[in-house]
């Protein structure tokens, strides 16, 4: 693969993302945590929101986890927010708020896995470590014409091609290639800077073979109790488990004969689970303004369905 051609293409085509314009380690860390499971467009929005409220790692450490969850609502995968908050406290206590600079040290922090550690170490601190994620897997599988490359194959490919004197630029170039050109469904091979070395180009659409993931379907029942001012009763969920620490209406069972009114059904997809929630409503007391607490996307949809929430964050 022609590394020079890819780096050159990257310089001319890279998107002006906020964490490229403000490339502080904290800004880069936030972007990498967000982009683990949030689409780019939303990631930018949440990055801006978080950085505005928490301009430094130390400022997040001083806040409560509820403050972080409140800003995180709608971004999904809330355990990331909890681990990020834990990370900020740990770094303040251990290192006066200064992020460690090496892959090995970063890997020890809450919420930081091999990909994220490699991305931060290479982009923020120029350590020569290769990033391996879904984008790299796809580019590698196509370049080498393999349907199901093993994790070792992918790591070897990434290590072999890493440009060690500009590892941050190289890792971002590979990611940008996967995001803009070597796309999952419609690879733009005619515009690809590394097309000459691509052995799988003629069947790029079939490479790599998708990983199969089984989704289980779980049914829930939820009742929204609404007070005379139109505000719903909300409870904070336990600090562990699904939607830990977020707020929402009561999950319940057997509402058919209780005077509750059936409102509708919400289908909600998580990474490995499909949730089907039957939503009911009834009269309650002491409701609270839902815009003042952190809600999951599912709970926002439930509250919108019963007509007590109409904003879209
Ligand atoms: S030629 Fe096509 S399939 Fe090969 S790396 Fe480039 S975009 Fe991907």
Q: What is the pLDDT of residues 145-169, one digit of tens each?
A: 999 999 999 999 999 999 999 999 9
Q: What is the C-alpha to C-alpha distance for residues 187 and 69, in angstroms, rounded to an integer? A: 37
pLDDT at residue number 260: 86
Mutate to test the pocket of ligand 1, among 174, 200, 206 (most ligand atoms within 8 A of CB): 200
Q: Show me where the domains of the chain are located.
A: 3-206, 216-305
194-200 mean pLDDT: 97
105-125 mean pLDDT: 95
pLDDT at residue number 210: 83
Under CATH, domain 216-305 is a member of which superfamily? Nucleoside Triphosphate Pyrophosphohydrolase (3.90.79.10)
Residue 311 confidence class, pLDDT cut points 50, 70, 90 = low
Beta-carbon-side half-sphere exposure of residue 134 (alpha carbons within 13 Å): 9
Instruction: Please say if 93 is a catalytic residue.
Output: no
pLDDT at residue number 243: 87
Locate 12 and state its tokens.
């001319």
Q: What is the pLDDT of residues 251-268, one digit of tens each?
A: 877 666 678 888 888 999
Q: What is the pLDDT of residues 87-110, one digit of tens each?
A: 999 999 999 999 999 999 999 999
105-128 mean pLDDT: 95
* Ranges 143-147, 206-210, 213-217, 288-292: which has the least confidence: 213-217
The predicted model scores a pTM of 0.82
209-237 mean pLDDT: 88
pLDDT at residue number 256: 66
The DSSP letter of residue 229 is T
CA 172 – ligand 1 centroid, Å: 17
Q: What is the pLDDT of residues 24-55, one digit of tens each?
A: 999 999 999 999 878 899 999 999 999 999 99
Of 147, 246, 140, the residue nearest 197 (C-alpha): 140
CA 178 – ligand 1 centroid, Å: 9
Mutate to test the pocket of ligand 1, among 1, 2, 135, 143 (most ligand atoms within 8 A of CB): 143
The DSSP letter of residue 119 is H
219-226 mean pLDDT: 91
Q: Omega into 208 within 30° of 0, i.e. cis?
A: yes
Q: What is the C-alpha to C-alpha distance for residues 91 and 299, in angstroms, rounded to an integer? A: 32
Residues with CB under 6 A from ligand 1: 139, 142-143, 181-182, 187-189, 192, 194-195, 198, 201, 204
Please give the share of the chain, as a percent, with pLDDT higher than 90. Answer: 77
CATH topology of domain 3-206: Endonuclease III; domain 1 (1.10.340)
pLDDT at residue number 255: 64
**How many whole angstroms from its chain centre is CA 41?**
11
Mean pLDDT of the chain: 92
Residue 313 confidence class, pLDDT cut points 50, 70, 90 = very low
pLDDT at residue number 254: 66
**How many whole angstroms from its chain centre is CA 156?**
26
């Amino acid at each position: 693969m022609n590394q020079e051609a890819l780096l050159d293409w990257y310089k001319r085509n890279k998107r002006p993302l906020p964490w490229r314009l403000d490339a502080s380690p904290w800004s880069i860390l936030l972007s990498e945590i967000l982009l683990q499971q949030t689409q780019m467009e939303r990631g930018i929005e949440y990055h801006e929101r978080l950085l505005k409220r928490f301009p430094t790692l130390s400022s997040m450490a001083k806040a409560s986890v509820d403050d972080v969850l409140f800003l995180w609502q709608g971004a999904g995968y809330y355990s990331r927010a909890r681990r990020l908050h834990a990370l900020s406290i740990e770094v303040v206590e251990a290192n006066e708020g200064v992020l460690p600079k090496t892959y090995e040290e970063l890997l020890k922090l809450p919420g930081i896995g091999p990909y994220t550690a490699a991305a931060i170490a290479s982009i923020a601190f120029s350590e020569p470590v290769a990033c391996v994620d879904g984008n790299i897997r796809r580019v590698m599988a196509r370049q080498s014409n393999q349907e199901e490359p093993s994790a070792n194959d992918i790591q070897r490919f990434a290590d072999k091609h890493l440009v060690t004197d500009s590892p941050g630029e190289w890792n971002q170039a590979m990611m940008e290639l996967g995001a803009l050109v070597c796309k999952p469904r419609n690879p733009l091979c005619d515009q690809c800077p590394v097309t000459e070395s691509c052995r799988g180009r003629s069947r790029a659409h079939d490479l790599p073979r998708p990983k199969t993931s089984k989704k289980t379907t779980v049914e829930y029942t939820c009742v929204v109790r609404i007070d005379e001012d139109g505000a719903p009763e909300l409870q904070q969920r336990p600090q562990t488990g699904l939607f830990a620490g977020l707020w929402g209406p009561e999950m319940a069972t057997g509402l058919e004969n209780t005077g509750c009114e059936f409102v509708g059904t919400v289908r909600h997809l998580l990474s490995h689970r499909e949730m089907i929630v039957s939503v009911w409503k009834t009269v309650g007391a002491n409701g609270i303004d839902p815009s003042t607490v952190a809600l999951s996307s599912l709970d926002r949809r439930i509250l919108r369905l019963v007509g007590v929430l109409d904003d879209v964050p």
